[in-house]
Structure 1
């Protein structure tokens, strides 16, 4: 296990904490099925710049299986998983959607053990559970009188997103360890694949109607810019540092650390946006920090 890998996991968490804030701003007035296609350009441009700056090799997949894995990785993680997540946010709100979606490290650990034959220790598993429970507490809202009943479909979508992310993350580790791709190469191909998949499905679906194409063309340039900056930060920079971390440490250890990104968002909101956390949410903060510290010390 590499301490540099764990540090890059924390860096990834920071990138993944900034991206949702930008997405929240950029999604105002934008249909959720339009978000992935719009932000995909930021992902591709960001990865192209990283490739040029790092001059990295490792762009040739190690056989047809690796090429297929890139496509499955994008479809599961960046398209289907994120689409389900956007739907969960619409139905449950950010707090509830994130609390359920934050269970994805458990899925990563399960898939990593069964497929990649990783063997996390008991303390690693306990720390993973501690981080997930802390995230759930962090995102739970205080009880209010007359609180609305949220649809079960929203919870199913959030769990579906967690499952998609949990399967796609071990795929990323396989690509950068056994698939013949470098972290830059793997993420550049993922970025190109997302552009093709997201826009291809959009034109076959919503974009097949002229009024939807006209509506997309009327979206302000500022909104396009915000969503693509979110794509560059969350998908390109975050995806790159995450892939590098996976070459140094097992996915079952890196993922719980990256899953702490909501805590960074919450702390920024408390420090700079005047938001408050309830007592149980501060307990959640402590559990996430403790779980991350345990993993970093092992």
Structure 2
């Protein structure tokens, strides 16, 4: 049960990280916000690697394992999180985050086909419940499908696909390098990638002390602590189980956003979040 518990804990940490970061999106563009969040995560991983005796091993890592986790970070954290930030600015945390968490469908398929992980019938039952929870968001009558709303939904769905690819790739990398090594090498390179993109696509950003502090907290909660916890879960129970279990994150995000961001949460959003969380029960 330890692997399952780690997956749920990662879901809570990711929800907190996303809600905290969402507050900065009023002043900071999605790419730049993601870049600074990643920078702070990279800075915290270096001392962690040193304290755990992994720093000297960073110079002797398996090439293909390192390549997999780096590409996974660029696709999952880089592209996926940036897309979700953009979606949040259009339709809010609770809706975009719930839609984004359709990614277990794709992750399970990828893990079964390409990683050889077992596929059990109860996974389908849990995934179907999660699916209907997401469909429920689209049926919300008080959400007019204007251009911005439709765009927000589509971007959240694209984030889901990016996350699923990143999850499958990092599982391949973890076959030859460990969790601490993976996060220590991929976060600095991810920051460089995002920083270059933010320069090529400049946007107006007001990076004050409050925004920097929030992005620091977001990076530590989600990418550093949450990332390590989730990778431990993958090692213990595999991608096909760890990924759907982490789908309880929208429930926590909906609760947190209603209190912290004062976001209006409708009964459909609450019901969708509960359905997503309930669907994970059948994956234990």
Q: Which residue of 1 aligns with 2:24?
A: 26
Query: Where in structure 2 are the equivalents of 1:47-196 lying within 5 Å?
Result: 47-56=45-54, 59=58, 60-63=60-63, 65-137=64-136, 139=137, 142-144=140-142, 147=144, 149-151=146-148, 152-176=150-174, 178=175, 180-196=176-192
Does residue 43 of structure 1 match 2:41? yes
Q: Does 1:295 align with 2:248?
A: no
Q: What does 1:186-265 correspond to in 2, within 5 Å?
A: 186-203=182-199, 205-206=200-201, 219-265=207-253
Residue by residue over 1:78-124, the C-alpha shift from the partner in whole angstroms, topping out at 9 and shown as x without a partner, is 11122222222233333442333221010101111111011220112
Q: Cα distance, 1:127 vs. partner?
A: 1.0
Q: 1:230 to 1:271 in 2, by over 3 A?
A: closer
1:281: Cα distance to partner?
Answer: 4.5
TM norm structure 1: 0.83
* Deviation of the 1:38 alpha carbon: 1.6
Count, aligned residues: 281
Q: In the aligned structure 2, how far is the partner of 1:76 from the partner of 1:272? A: 29
Moved more, 6-15 or 53-62: 53-62
Q: Helix, strand or coil: the match of 1:260? A: helix
CA distance in 1, matches of 2:112, 2:163: 16
Structure 1 window deviating more from structure 2 (243-252 vs 45-54): it is 45-54
User: SS of 1:247's equivalent?
Assistant: helix
Q: Distance in 2 between matches of 1:268 and 1:222?
A: 19
Shift of 1:181: 1.1
SS at 2:11 equivalent:
helix
Q: Deviations over 1:147-178 (max 9, x none)?
A: 352444433322221111111101111111x2
Q: How far apart are the structure 1 equivalents of 2:214 and 2:100?
A: 24
Q: Tell me, which stretches of 5 or more residues in structure 1 are unaligned?
A: none
Answer with 91-100 or 182-191: which moved more: 91-100
Residues 1:128 and 1:46: Cα distance change in structure 2 (over 3 Å): farther
- CA 1:267/1:225 → structure 2, altered by over 3 Å: closer, same or farther? closer
CA distance in 1 between partners of 2:120 and 2:32 (Å): 42
- TM-score by length of structure 2 reads 0.87
